Amino acid sequence: MNKKVSLWLLLLIIWIFSMITLMFGWAVGYIHEGGHLIQGNTRSVILAIAKFPTLVDVSIKQIFSKPPLILTDRYPEISGLKTDNKNYRDSNFLFLSAYDKEAGHSGFKLIRLSDQKVLHRWVPDINEIMKIRDKGRPLSEQSNKGNIVFWHPLPSADGSVVFNTEDRALIKIDKNSKLLWSLDGIFHHSLEKDAEGNIWASSMMEKNSGFLSGFFDDYRDDALAQVSPDGKLLYKKSITDILLENGYRGLLFGIGPMERDPLHLNDIQPALSSTQYWQKGDLLVSIRNKSTVFLYRPSTNKILWLQTGPWLNQHDANFIDDSRISIFGNNIIRNKNYDFIDGHNEVYIFDFKTNETSTPYTAFLKKAKVKTMTGGRSEILPNGDVFVEETDFGRMLRGSNSQTIWQYVERVDEKSAAVLGWSKIIAPAEFNSFKFIKN
């Protein structure tokens, strides 16, 4: 016999389901806004349920998605290197990290800019890389060979290259693209060598400290990591602890609501020599989500200098000479759409000698419409020109303080460009140390 469900029972079920949904939504929002009255297993279960749809979405994308390492082309008129001066020849070399259309995944190329000749090509075994990066960790949208960016490659004289694949292991390959070693952990963003040849890598603490665990379940605690040339972890220090131990609790916790990623470490630049304003081994550290750069001495655990702005949500802080540093400011307000303050990116020069900040490349950056939102690199070259990677749009440029000298786009086809992974300019002196290059 078929029994009809009474209307009042149906409405009651709908009402109960609606109340549960509303309460669950409130609980998730409360937890993510920093509320700590919900604790223990209840908190963990709520977060696990909230993350389930995302995990399903990630799994589907991991299986079915097309490679996102190809950009809809913003600069169709540029293929390779383009300069308006036909007689211009750049004596530098480009160490390109980008999607390799022949391999079908990321790779590296060493390119002579004077004639755009590819002098060497690295094509790591992507299947081996995937096994290393996904071992013991949940799937991500990057768990697909066409989705993995090889970030900020660090080449050596013997042709070996160290790189990371964003929030996964650190990897080193030889000149023939064969795996030399991998270091398990969470490594991301920049890689730089210090004066002793060790590598400073942006990293993350695997577990929150006892203090933080009482307030946050998914707090991303970025860390400074020093790694030896043979892949041994030498040093690791939480950015949160550095700020707290140096009296910057207000900067860390006192500015607006807490977010999962309150710091967003994206660059560690070691000082290669001592000057009046820093010592060899000091670190210039960029934390994007605080629009803050600071100078840190690991040997004494002291922040020597810290400044918030005028740069906004910056990437890539570099030492220039014995008193100046440069900072690539994305100059955006981080919201749903990422709004530019001045309509373009900016390169800031801070001089410790005068305690003043200047922006000498405004005219070039504005005219070239350089406006990467979530990445970007810059380097002041010896003659005063600046090299910029506009990461989000697959373009690299060299410019003076007033005009563009050249632009470069790694083309995939007539309608698309390759995604970049923080490429490098290689000066002739460094290139001459590359013994693996014949002739």
Alpha-carbon gap, residue 295 to 110, rounded angstroms? 32
**Averaged pLDDT for residues 153-159:** 97
Confidence class of residue 376 from pLDDT cuts 50, 70 and 90?
Answer: very high
CATH number 2.130.10.10 given to 65-431: yes
125 pLDDT higher than 60: yes
- Looking at every residue in the chain, the average pLDDT score rounds to 87
**Using CA atoms, how far apart are residues 413 and 213, in angstroms rounded to an integer?**
49
Lowest mean pLDDT among 80-89, 210-219, 227-236, 264-273: 210-219
Query: Domain spans of the chain?
Result: 65-431
pLDDT the model gives residue 6: 76
pLDDT at 28: 54
Q: What strand order describes the sheet that includes 80-82?
A: 80-82, 404-409, 395-399, 386-390, 377-380
Give CA–CA dist 160/178, Å, rounded.
9
b/e burial code for range 136-155 (CB count within 10 A of at least 16 → b): eeeebebbbbbbbbbbbbbb
Pairing of strands 356-358, 80-82: unpaired
Q: In what order do the strands lie in the sheet with 346-351?
A: 315-319, 324-329, 346-351, 356-358
Per-residue confidence (pLDDT) for residue 46, from 0 to 100: 54
Of these ranges, 1-10, 125-134, 207-216, 263-272, the one predicted with the greatest mean pLDDT is 263-272
pLDDT surpassing 50 at residue 329: yes
CA neighbor of 204 nearest in space, from 195, 214, 212, 196: 212
Percent of the chain residues topping a pLDDT of 90: 67
Closest CA to 378 of 353, 361, 356, 363: 361
What is the spatial distance between Cα 395 and Cα 391, in angstroms, rounded to a whole number? 7
Instruction: Quickly state the pLDDT bin for 56 (edges 50, 70, 90).
Output: very low
114 has a pLDDT exceeding 70: yes
- Triad 258, 261, 266: Cα angle to 5°: 140
The letter for the amino acid at 284 is L
Q: How many CA atoms lie within 13 A of 383 on its CB side?
A: 10
Residue type at position 397: L
